[in-house]
Structure 1
Amino acid sequence: MNDNGNTLLGVLAGTAIGAALGILFAPDKGSVTRKRIAEQAEATRDSIAESTMDLRDKAASTVASKRETLDHQLENIVSDVSHKTEDVITTLEKKLADLKTKNKKLQKTS
Structure 2
Amino acid sequence: MGIGKVLFGMLLASSAGLAIGLLCAPDKGLQTRKRIQQKAEDFLEEEIIGYNRIVCNVKTKLDEILTGVSIKAPDGTHQWADTDQKNEIII
AA paired with 1:67? I
Deviations 1:29-86 (A, max 9, x none): xxxxxxxxxxxxxxx8x61211111010000000001000100110000000111111
Separation in structure 2 between the aligned mates of residue 53 and residue 76 of structure 1, nearest angstrom: 35
TM-score by length of 2: 0.55
Gaps of 5+ in 1: 17-43, 98-110
Is 2:17 the partner of 1:10? Answer: no
Q: 1:95 aligns with which of 75, 78, 84?
A: 78
Gaps of 5+ in 2: 1-12, 81-91
Q: Which residue of 1 aligns with 2:50?
A: 69
Structure 1's consecutive aligned runs of 4 or more residues displaced over 4 angstroms after TM superposition are 3-6
Is 2:32 the partner of 1:51? Answer: yes
Q: Which residue of 2 aligns with 1:28?
A: none
- In our comparison, the structure showing a higher alpha carbon Rg is 1
Higher RCO, 1 vs 2 (CA within 8 Å, ≥6 residues apart) = 1
AA paired with 1:73? I
Separation in structure 1 between the aligned mates of residue 48 and residue 34 of structure 2, nearest angstrom: 21
Aligned length: 65
AA paired with 1:92? I
CA RMSD of aligned residues (A): 3.3
TM-score by length of 1: 0.47
Percent identity of the aligned residues? 12
AA paired with 1:51? T
